[in-house]
Amino acid sequence: MKNIIENNITGITLILAGLIFMVIGAFHGEAMEVMRKAVTICLECIGIG
Amino acid sequence: MNIIRKHIRLCVQMIFTALTNGYVNGFIQGTIYKGSTKQFCVPGLNCYSCPGALGACPIGALQAVISKPGYTFSFYIIGFFMIVGAMAGRFACGWLCPFGLVQDLLYKIPLTGKVKNLPFDEYLSRVKYLVLVVFVIVLPMLVVNIVGQGEPWFCKWICPSGTLFGGIPLVTMNEGLRSAVGWLFQWKLLILIMILLLSVKVYRPFCKYLCPLGAVYGLFNPISIYRYKVDQEKCVHCKACQKVCKIEIQVDEKPNSLSCIRCGDCMKGCPHGAISATFKKRGK
């Protein structure tokens, strides 16, 4: 286990930082912003305009 | 059982695509899912306007956040990229992306004169970074209307996944949307047809040359926890790995190339068993 952590310290640090980023983003209202966009048909995405 | 083992990647791709696009009512009624799972991103380029989509496309979500007034950086989506990328790099491209699956299936159509790469491949493969910076970040953030709201430029002008999984089914099933079709839909349809036709001859042209999501994940390939390792004591540099790799990566030299989608063909194709996926420090 110790060996796995030592050999992947950059990756593990990035995953932990990513988790912190996601939590900050969620508290910042970004998850709701994604939700708001994703539950209505995105006319640009489907090529209507 | 052997058939499943032989085609394990294809099975995973199909099951994952079906699971993350499992809202069957959407296809029947010509609408989209509106449940709370839509606030979470899926790892592949999976349009959230696909009638079956249960999650959000990370590239669409990034543009949606940064094009909003008051947001210049998206912690939520960048954090998601860091987690998926640091875990396995472009593994998501090879195993979990629905548009990657479509291209893989098209490449299986028997046709003579298949090519692995287009001419000027080295330069063309840099275009995806340009697409990422210009169409996904800069234009949605800077080109805004009177209330400061930008547009999802990549989704609007380029994304063939949105046209295939979102546009075509919705326009087919929804009469209101069908009446609104104009030249933009035709433009996006043209891009989609060109990419699909090219995919029959060239392996995954969209992933190699245009996909901004692949560009992001690829940056994590060298440092991701799941990565490839070449045992230098076993490797005789016969280049069998490069021959079997559909992206033509020099696996013995760069086992964790930014272009590698972790399909695993090199591991299967190495006659000396020198390539492995490992959690240990990479060999080169």
ipTM, 2 decimals? 0.95
* Beta-sheet strands, E only, within B26-185: none
Report the pLDDT averaged over residues B6-19.
Answer: 96
Q: How far is CA B58 from the centre of its chain?
A: 11
B209-231 tens-digit pLDDT? 999 999 999 999 999 999 999 99
B281 or A27, higher pLDDT:
A27
Residue that finishes a domain, picked among B170, B194, B220: B220
Percent of chain B exceeding pLDDT 70 equals 98
Indicate if B186 and B272 belong to the same structural domain. no
Give the torsion sign (CA, B104, B262, B244, B247).
positive
Quote the domain boundaries for residue A18. 2-38
| Residue A6 belongs to some domain of the structure | yes
Indicate if B206 and B258 belong to the same structural domain. no
For the cut 90, the answer to whether the pLDDT of residue B2 exceeds it is no
Asked if A21 and B75 come within 8 Å (Cβ–Cβ), the reply is: yes
Asked if B184 and A42 come within 8 Å (Cβ–Cβ), the reply is: no
Closest CA to B194 of B125, B129, B106: B106
For the cut 60, the answer to whether the pLDDT of residue B184 exceeds it is yes
Indicate if B186 and B274 belong to the same structural domain. no
Residues B112 and B32: their CA atoms lie apart, in Å, by 40
Confidence grade of residue B34 (pLDDT, cut at 50, 70, 90): very high
Indicate if B184 and B282 belong to the same structural domain. no
Nearest CA in chain B to A13: B86
Indicate if B207 and B237 belong to the same structural domain. no
Residues B121 and B138: their CA atoms lie apart, in Å, by 25
Indicate if B108 and B71 belong to the same structural domain. yes
Of the candidate ranges B44-53, B107-116, B234-243, the one whose mean pLDDT is the lowest? B107-116
Report the pLDDT averaged over residues B180-188.
Answer: 95
Q: Please check whether residue A21 touches B, CB under 8 A.
A: yes
Indicate if B266 and B133 belong to the same structural domain. no
Q: Is B200 helix (H, G, I), strand (E, B) or coil?
A: helix
**pLDDT score recorded for residue B6:** 85
Percent of chain B exceeding pLDDT 90 equals 92
Provide the shortest C-alpha distance from residue A46 to chain B (in Å): 4
Indicate if B20 and B57 belong to the same structural domain. yes
Q: Please check whether residue A9 touches B, CB under 8 A.
A: no
Asked if A38 and B56 come within 8 Å (Cβ–Cβ), the reply is: yes
| Residue A48 belongs to some domain of the structure | no
**pLDDT score recorded for residue B284:** 46
**pLDDT score recorded for residue B279:** 64
B131-154 tens-digit pLDDT? 999 999 999 999 999 999 999 999
For the cut 90, the answer to whether the pLDDT of residue B35 exceeds it is yes
Indicate if B132 and B243 belong to the same structural domain. no
Q: Provide CB contacts within 8 A for B88, sequence distance 6+.
A: B224, B225, B226, B262
| Residue A31 belongs to some domain of the structure | yes
* B49 contacts A46 by C-beta, under 8 angstroms: yes
Residues B204 and B200: their CA atoms lie apart, in Å, by 9
Q: Taking every pair of C-alpha atoms in chain A, what is the biggest distance, in angstroms?
A: 53
Quote the domain boundaries for residue B254. 227-284
Q: What is the CATH number of the domain that holds B235?
A: 3.30.70.20
**pLDDT score recorded for residue B53:** 97
For the cut 80, the answer to whether the pLDDT of residue B283 exceeds it is no
Indicate if B16 and B157 belong to the same structural domain. yes
| Residue A11 belongs to some domain of the structure | yes
Nearest to A32 among B39, B49, B80 (CB): B39
Indicate if B211 and B278 belong to the same structural domain. no
Query: What domain count does chain B have?
Result: 2
| Residue A44 belongs to some domain of the structure | no
User: Cα angle vertex B17, ends A19, A14, to 5°?
Assistant: 20
Query: What domain count does chain A have?
Result: 1
List chain A residues with CB under 8 Å of B47: 42, 45-46
Nearest to B78 among A21, A33, A38 (CB): A21
For the cut 50, the answer to whether the pLDDT of residue B41 exceeds it is yes
Indicate if B201 and B245 belong to the same structural domain. no
Report the pLDDT averaged over residues B26-46.
Answer: 96
